[in-house]
Structure 1
Amino acid sequence: MSRFVMTAAAQMGPIARAETRADCVKRLVEMMREAKARGSELVVFPELALTTFFPRWMIEDEAELDSFYETEMPSAQTMPLFDEAKKLGVGFYLGFAELVVENGVKRRYNTSILVDRTGNIVGKYRKVHLPGTSEPIPGRVLHHLEKRYFEPGDLGFPVWRAFGGVMGMCICNDRRWPEVYRVMGLQAVDMVMLGYNTPFDHVGEVAMDALSLFHNHLSMQAGAYQNATWVVGTAKCGNEEGSKMLGQSVIIAPSGEIVAQSVTVEDEVITAKCDLDMGKRYRETIFDFARHRRPEHYGLIVERTGAIPPPE
């Protein structure tokens, strides 16, 4: 019997720097209600869905910087989203900036959580692959300072049993790294959820930046197909405080095919009926790792081809 999960990607348009948590949560609740009305039981929201993308600025006042982070989840400001999820019987993935204090030291992470249909948190992930720089690049008005404001995640790439399947999470730049999908693929993941905030000029090389939309989908489609998993990629997009960010949120099948895609750079809900057993069929044939994957020979391949030069 097939395992179907009606899934929504709830794309967000720009979040202004002046918007409050309450403003953002209201938008999220409205999209959750729309997703429910269309039959969804799982909603994937973007990375940093509660604030503007603050790493684009150099922020030297620590109190101001702290204001962009969540110190508890749920909080009084985000509780309406959890309450609505429980009321509607809809689960969700949510990205946000997390601040924790451990042994008197502040630790900052780019984080996502998975919440089940009863409003309970069942999983947490912290972004591992942080793009950008830790110092501003001279001559640029808008920066990409994730390495300054976050540290690499310390939770690895676990999976969780929820929504009738095996669910995984990653965030934004993680989607470009094949090992992210493979680690979860080796755990028989059925669906990988990821939110992103990606500016068109993040590389600073015109020819590469012009391919941003192509590379966005390429990485997710390859990850889906090569690991026999659904991938749901949800953007925060549009012109946010002068930074143009790409949209084209997608739901991708284990075949690598895009089955739903957004058409705006505003708040928009897209949905798909995801058959989790579709991935199982690929894992039992083309990507049966136990029968076909041979990691014990990878070292021999490298040695024979000279792909890595011997030490001097």
Structure 2
Amino acid sequence: MTRRVKLAACQMGPVQSSASRPEVVGRLIHLLERAAKDGATLAVFPELALTTFFPRWEIDNETKLDVFYEASFPNAETQPLLDAARRLRIGFAIGFAEMVQDGAAKQRFNTMALVDAEGQVAGLYRKMHVPGSEMPEPGVTVHLERRYFAPGNLGFPVFDIDGLRVGLALCNDRRWPETYRMLCLNGAEIVLIGYNTPLLLDEAPQLAHLRMFHNHLPMQAGAYQNTVWVAAAAKAGLEDGQALIGGSCIIAPTGEITALATSLADEVVTYDADLGLIETCRRVNFDFARYRRPDQYRRICE
């Protein structure tokens, strides 16, 4: 029997630092409603969807920094989004800054939560490939994720949600082949990705014309080489003075972009994904059970 799922990539225009959580959650609910109206049953929102991309600043005041983090998910301000998922019968993934209290210490992660169509959290992923630096570097676009986030400690889990096998990734993770390979080997059929990507890099202005190409290239390669569907949602537009590229998309296991955002604003793109295409692509080129046998790996490495 043919298995299909309608996927939605819910792109967001800029989230300015002046925006309140309820205001942002209201935007997210509206996007989820648009996705559901178009028949989608699984959606993805961007990385750090609840706030501006605050790692572009050096923040020394811990009280001011804590404002950007969620001490729990859901909480009173974000619960309406999960209630909407249950009302609309649509699952979703959303990126946010997570703060975990470990005794007197605080652990901070760049996190994505997966929520099912019952409005229940199915699982968390914490970003593994944390880019940037701890301090601003001369001539380099300010990107201080390593100052504000520890590398993820949950590995690359794959979750069973509403009859699907779903893996998660965040921003810089999408550029690394290990992300897709680990998720594929863990049984993912669909990979949901959220990202925030600057339009320009001060350290490489000669590569500016390749920014969107380099955004899509690794996701298309990851989808093709690992025979998975990929849905990726961006923040876009001018956010607190920094231009973000957008380019939210849905990619088939063939490597083809099947749906692509065309604006730098709030936008929903959807696609009716045929999960049977995964098996077709595996038969053609990537039969992992035949060509990538663990017992053969062990003999080669010994």
State the TM-score bracket (shorter-chain normalisation): over 0.9
1:135-161 CA-to-partner distances (Å, cap 9, x unmatched) read 112366x61000000000000001011
Question: How far 1:292 moved relative to its partner?
Answer: 1.9
- The residue number in structure 2 matching 1:47 is 47
Question: How far 1:204 moved relative to its partner?
Answer: 1.7
- The residue number in structure 2 matching 1:307 is none
SS in 2 for 1:210: helix
Question: How far 1:290 moved relative to its partner?
Answer: 1.8
- The residue number in structure 2 matching 1:224 is 223
Question: How far 1:284 moved relative to its partner?
Answer: 3.6
- Measure the CA separation in 1 of the matches of 2:282 and 2:105: 44
- The residue number in structure 2 matching 1:309 is none
- Measure the CA separation in 1 of the matches of 2:164 and 2:190: 8
CA contact (8 A) 1:5 1:163 kept: no
1:164-212 CA-to-partner distances (Å, cap 9, x unmatched) read 2211001000000001100111123100000000002346211234311
- The residue number in structure 2 matching 1:188 is 187
Q: What aligned pairs does 1:196-275 form with structure 2 within 5 A after superposition?
A: 196-202=195-201, 204-275=203-274
Count of matched residue positions in the alignment of Structure 1 and Structure 2: 300
Do residues 83 (structure 1) and 83 (structure 2) align? yes
- Measure the CA separation in 1 of the matches of 2:193 and 2:202: 21
SS in 2 for 1:129: coil
Question: How far 1:285 moved relative to its partner?
Answer: 3.7
TM-score normalised by the chain length of structure 2: 0.95
- Measure the CA separation in 2 of the matches of 1:285 and 1:166: 22
- The residue number in structure 2 matching 1:292 is 291
- Which amino acid counterpart does residue 123 of structure 1 have in structure 2? G
Q: What aligned pairs does 1:1-312 form with structure 2 within 5 A after superposition?
A: 1-138=1-138, 143-202=142-201, 204-293=203-292, 296=296
Question: How far 1:96 moved relative to its partner?
Answer: 0.2
CA separation of 1:293 and 1:25: change in aligned 2, threshold 3 A: same
CA contact (8 A) 2:139 2:203 kept: no
The worse-fitting range, judged by mean Cα deviation, of 130-139 and 11-20 is 130-139
- Measure the CA separation in 2 of the matches of 1:68 and 1:299: 49
CA contact (8 A) 2:139 2:202 kept: no
- Measure the CA separation in 1 of the matches of 2:239 and 2:162: 33
Percent sequence identity is 49
- Measure the CA separation in 2 of the matches of 1:285 and 1:104: 54
Question: How far 1:16 moved relative to its partner?
Answer: 0.6
- Measure the CA separation in 2 of the matches of 1:110 and 1:125: 9
Larger radius of gyration: 1
SS in 2 for 1:63: helix
- Measure the CA separation in 2 of the matches of 1:47 and 1:231: 15
- In structure 2, list runs of 5 or more residues that go unmatched: none
- Measure the CA separation in 2 of the matches of 1:279 and 1:163: 18
CA contact (8 A) 1:3 1:164 kept: no
TM-score normalised by the chain length of structure 1: 0.92
- Measure the CA separation in 2 of the matches of 1:279 and 1:257: 13
1:42-78 CA-to-partner distances (Å, cap 9, x unmatched) read 1111000000000000011100000000001111111
- Measure the CA separation in 2 of the matches of 1:150 and 1:222: 27
CA contact (8 A) 1:232 1:250 kept: yes
SS in 2 for 1:157: coil
Once superposed, what is the RMSD of the aligned Cα atoms? Answer: 1.7
SS in 1 for 2:70: coil
Runs of 4+, deviation exceeding 3 Å: 294-301
